[in-house]
Amino acid sequence: MPSALAPAAVDRVPAPLLFVVSGLTLYAGAAVAVGLFDRIDAPAVGWWRIVLAAVVLVAWRRPWRRSWTLRELGWAALFGVALSAMNVVFYVGIDHLPLGVAVAIEFCGPVAVAAITGRGWRERGAIGVAAAGVVLLAGVTLESDLPRADVLVGLTAIGAAAACWAGYIVLGKRVAGAGSGIDSLAVGMVAGALVFAPVFGRTAATVVPDPQVLGFLFVVALCSSVVPYVLDQVVLRRIGTAAFSVLTALLPATAVVVGAVVLQQVPTWPELVGLTLVSGAIVMTARARA
């Protein structure tokens, strides 16, 4: 990574602390997004997050300076469409479910990829542990005071987000293998924004004339896309993918903390058990890869 991404001051910060900051900004952005759902449809907020993050990344990286083949552009575009779809359905999910529950269920995507591509007992066992956690979370949510229809929509959307996350991981590995890194991310976000523009572009008439809404959307894009992705690259440069995968187990807990503090979504004890099971499954798959 360029030194501009990791100045001396950042290099002195412990990698786990940087990862926690990344997670906090990620889900703080999601909490801000929830506050916008009364003014813009949830999936449209997810699309605007991609649009504005694409603007920032393209201005920063200037990917047109790189020599691209049609194959590289195609994979980057597919990668971006998977990322955009994941964001859109994720915001539908957190519009209907508590943030911590939604994030934990979404992690079934990465766990499933690890279980399918792995060969050891840890990967196979992890999918069972994660499934138990998700069943517990879904069961508790269905028995909550939330309307049954909202819960079903939320669970369906988060299930779709988990599937998109799995596709994002597979495609991201191929894109990263080509060595294009954040440049491909910038190109992919542009592609994803364009693919969904026919569906959500109509919201521009509401967003663009309202500086307050546009400003909050920009905060969401920075907090949930730009800052976490950059910090993740700094952390990955220092600790490698195996240790990084272990640290991802902190994300469901981070989402619970943000949901409780910002959105007053205090989890129940059964939900905490479910979250612990999912986090344990993440650690199991990460240790197996290590």
Over the stretch 68-82, which tens digit does the pLDDT of each residue have? 889 889 998 998 999
Residues of the chain with pLDDT under 70: 1-11, 118-119, 176-180, 233, 236-237, 239-246, 286-290
How many Cα atoms sit within 13 Å of 64 on the Cβ side? 3
Predicted local confidence at residue 47, as pLDDT: 96
Predicted local confidence at residue 246, as pLDDT: 67
Predicted local confidence at residue 3, as pLDDT: 40
Predicted local confidence at residue 233, as pLDDT: 66
Predicted local confidence at residue 6, as pLDDT: 46
Predicted local confidence at residue 2, as pLDDT: 43
Predicted local confidence at residue 131, as pLDDT: 81
Phi-psi map region of 181: left, alpha, beta (phi>0 left; psi -120 to 50 alpha):
left
Predicted local confidence at residue 107, as pLDDT: 85
The whole-angstrom separation of Cα 267 and Cα 272 is 6
Rg (CA), the chain: 18
> Of 280, 260, 255, 268, nearest to 20 (Cα)?
255
CA distance to 94, 115, 212, 273, per residue, from 37 (Å): 10, 35, 14, 29
Predicted local confidence at residue 230, as pLDDT: 75
